[in-house]
Structure 1
Amino acid sequence: MTVRDRTPRIVIFDSGVGSLSIGAEIHALLPSLDLLYVMDRGGFPYGLWQEQALVEHICQKVHEVLRAQSADMLVMACNSASTAVLPALREQLSIPVVGVVPAIKPAAAHSRSRVIGLLATPGTVARPYTAKLIADFAPDCCVIPVGSAELAPAVEALFWHGDDAPQVWRGIAEQFHCHPRAAEMDTVVLACTHFPLVKDQLARQLPKLAWIDSGQAIARRVQQLLLDQGWQPTPVPGRQFLRLLGAREPSEVLSQRLGERGIVLSGH
């Protein structure tokens, strides 16, 4: 049976709640899909792993998930992991694998001042792949990089425990303001899937900026891959499930946030 004949199931894989930002865009564009959000709590945060160890860890966990739950597509919803692990996953899996990369290209297209902020994990800021994206798609732009090791954990704490971290949001703004061309910056790339979840908090610290992430582009890519396989959307709404790795169950705070999104805990 192909995706022509049934509801496709998409696995959205991340070390934490970053999968929610990508899944929200996929669900908004393609509400008839079944989505399985996988949070690899035991691996969080991916940005601090050595590359080869990360590849081995994620491949093992992905195979573990797919043995328990068949899927039609895998979305690796993490910038830090995507550039490292996508080649191995695509070699090992028979289903399409979609990765997330920093949205440098749309940010450069949007910016009028040609001064762009890049907010990412330290690993993503340092990767040669990111430098190549800038060289290819924003060669005439001044890109101000801020590599934060604190922001993704702060987002996790907010979604799991309700812990607000105004000092972290302020700290991001202060790091951008240290750059001599910060006043010219008109666009910021959110190059970690956790970061769109606190876009409002960041925007209060850095107002009047455009905040650009990869979520909508990923949703369109998923749509195109399914259409290429002959899938046609239906009016029947899809289901959304969560599977936790390295944790038994979501906290009360996270359960409430999941419920607001129509996501239920998977039995697998």
Structure 2
Amino acid sequence: MHVLVFDSGVGGLSILEELQRVSPQRQYSYLFDNLYFPYGELEEQQLITRVLQLLSKAVNQLKPDLVVIACNSASTLSLPPLRETLSIPVVGVVPAIKSAANKSLTRHFGVLATPGTVERTYTEQLIADFAKDCRVELLGSTLLVQLAEQKLSGETIALPDIERALAPWLLFEDLDCVVLGCTHFPLLKEELQQVLGSKVSLVDSGAAIANRVNSLLLDSEALASGQKKAEAHAYCTMHPANSTLLKQLQSYQLSSLQLFT
């Protein structure tokens, strides 16, 4: 079976890594729309239109069996129209607010995401549904998205930059969980943990997404015959400026990087 993982940048690699860990036998394609990166700063209708057009084309050309929208900004807006348009399953990523509410002992946790995600009514509804007895801090950061991209390009990330992004939270004494509400942020997990301290648990959606994909594909895989050898390729919508990116992608078992047109 063939899974297409989609994001505007490299953040979705954190989801791809979890998918590969759970099901290494599958074929994977990773498509990132760096021409329109970052999605968190696009107008809502512009984002929806772009995702619909690009993924309709990608599904037609790459022939995946399932699509993972490994981007919180795209998932919170484009999942309904995508599921109406595409004939294959579409799995989205949303902030793991339910998981954090179940995990938090102090009933005080944070949601770290892009500015667009923290401002959307979808996020407010998740809090109302699953964390109404908690004090929930919302923090949107474009800087952290950029730092994650830089880290994957081989640059060293300075902890003061992380501290600057998290400054509003560093005085809280009882904050015990932080939801990584953008798929870029697990790429900075080590740096975030150093700044927040060991008493703060970081919660992301990777494992839940891998389990959901498994539940949708296992029956089909049991019926499939002549399974191809597992392959993984990356596609971008604009040539990356950083020449070291391909080497970094190879660490995620992506054997090639091609321009998607």
Match of 1:243 among 220, 223, 235: 235
Deviation at 1:163, TM superposition (A): 4.8
For 1:207, the equivalent position in structure 2 comes to: 197
Q: Distance in 2 between matches of 1:250 and 1:28?
A: 29
Q: Matched residues in 2 for 1:112 and 1:233: separation?
A: 45
Deviations 1:152-206 (A, max 9, x none): 012112212525243321113312125xxx1101110000000000000111111
* Residues 1:140 and 2:130 aligned together: no
The match for 1:184 is 174
| Structure 2 SS opposite 1:150 | helix
* Separation in structure 1 between the aligned mates of residue 143 and residue 257 of structure 2, nearest angstrom: 30
TM-score by length of 1: 0.90
| In structure 2, C-alpha distance between the alignment counterparts of 1:201 and 1:132, rounded to whole Å | 30
**What corresponds to 2:108 in structure 1?**
115
Question: 1:266/1:153 Cα in 2 relative to 1: closer, same or farther (>3 Å)?
Answer: closer
**Structure 2 gap segments, 5+ residues each:** none
1:198 aligns with 2:191: no
- 2-side partners of 1:84 and 1:62: how far apart? 14
Counterpart AA for 2:230 = G
Q: State the Cα RMSD in Å.
A: 2.0
Q: Which amino acid aligns with 1:240?
A: A
1:225 aligns with 2:220: no
Q: Which amino acid aligns with 2:193?
A: A
Per the alignment, do residues 232 and 27 of structure 1 end up closer, same or farther by CA in structure 2, a change over 3 Å counting?
farther
Task: State the Cα distance separating 1:228 from its structure 2 match.
Answer: 4.1
Give % identity.
40
The partner residue of 2:31 within 34, 38, 41 is 38
TM-score (norm 2): 0.92
What does residue 15 of structure 2 align with? 22
49, 53, 57: which one pairs with 1:56? 49
- The 5-angstrom pairing of residues 153-192 of structure 1 reads 153-177=146-170, 182-192=172-182
In the TM superposition, residue 264 of structure 1 has moved relative to its aligned partner by: 1.4
Q: Distance in 1 between matches of 2:222 and 2:81?
A: 27
Unaligned regions of 5+ residues in structure 1, if any? 1-7
Give the length in aligned residue pairs: 257
Partner of 2:142: 149
